[in-house]
Amino acid sequence: MDTGLENWHDFEVESRREIIALLRSIGEKNQLIRMLIHGQSDVCVTTILDVDAERDMVILDRPVDTGQSRRMAAASGISFETSLDKIRILFASNSLEEVMYGATPALKMAIPDTLIRLQRREYYRMNTPVSNPVRVTIPVVTDQGTSNTPFPLADISCGGIAIMDNKLALGDTIGKNYPGCRIDLPEIGMVTATLQIRNSLDMTLLNNKLNRRLGCQFVDLPRGMLAHVQRYITRLERERNARIAGLG
């Protein structure tokens, strides 16, 4: 899966001191780190053995499979994903080098210039129904003119929505505003809003089909429209609580 580092600029950490502190915390807590060669499905798990700020290097535990370790070292790009205190951490390296850390075979990389820290969400999000999905209609400009294109919602919050763009109709539109979008909330009413695409995440399913999830932020949502969204989220929460109570 593509980690999409370039699409998470709102969560980027550029402070070298903070990056070093985060990497050291990951190492001290023995957090498992997923390593993925760019453009390949070759994945392995590692941990951080040491972070040496003076020598600008991070020492990683070498994969058990020596062949895999060599492939990682020969790769021109590696993505890393882990978590720290339930916060997702992403970073990348252009190259790894096989080294010895004392008597232990290891891998070495430069301290990354940036990393992504996906913190707890500012807004409470509710997943929308899968069986009868809520849809947002977005005016998409094409060569033939403007087409009002429907997209299913994945979740909704008072700050925005996540949509599925599996036909890639919106392309690579990070930061672009789409005015005049309409969300028909069942039993609540129509919400008209300007949406700004904030992030994109591509996921490959087991059948090799591509799913693209786009995170969209409401831009200057009028108070009346926000009230519609709040009422719908409350309704979803009531329905979920009723299901849980019924299962009990």
CATH number at residue 104: 2.30.110.10
Start-to-end CA distance of the chain, whole Å, equals 36
pLDDT of residue 121: 52
pLDDT tens across 66-123, in order? Answer: 888 888 888 888 999 888 877 888 999 999 999 999 999 999 999 999 998 876 555 6
Domain total in the chain: 2
Could you say which DSSP state residue 151 is in?
E
pLDDT tens across 123-145, in order? Answer: 667 888 888 889 999 999 888 88
pLDDT of residue 173: 77
Say yes or no: 113 and 132 in one domain: no
pLDDT tens across 3-55, in order? Answer: 444 445 557 888 999 999 999 999 999 998 988 887 776 778 899 999 999 99
Angle value at C-alpha 219, between 214 and 224, nearest 5 degrees: 115
Say yes or no: 237 and 130 in one domain: yes
Tokens of 12: 């980027």
| N residues, the chain | 248
Say yes or no: 208 and 184 in one domain: yes
Strand partners, 116: 12, 90
Contacts with 130 (C-beta within 8 Å, 6 or more apart), sequence order? none
Say yes or no: 108 and 130 in one domain: no
Say yes or no: 242 and 131 in one domain: yes
pLDDT of residue 114: 92
Give 64 or 191, the one with higher predicted confidence: 191
pLDDT tens across 190-233, in order? Answer: 999 999 999 888 877 667 777 888 999 999 999 999 999 999 98
Say yes or no: 130 and 243 in one domain: yes
pTM given for the model:
0.52
Q: Are 196 and 161 in contact (CB under 8 A)?
A: no
Q: Are 157 and 126 in contact (CB under 8 A)?
A: yes
- CB-side neighbour CA atoms (13 Å) of 45: 5
Whole-number Cα distances in Å, 119 to 11, 58, 90, 160: 8, 23, 12, 16
Phi-psi region of 13 (alpha: psi -120 to 50; beta: other; left: phi over 0): beta
Say yes or no: 133 and 32 in one domain: no
> Which of 118, 140, 173 is the last residue in one of the domains?
118
Range of the structural domain that residue 186 is part of: 126-247
Say yes or no: 130 and 114 in one domain: no
Say yes or no: 150 and 95 in one domain: no
Say yes or no: 92 and 140 in one domain: no
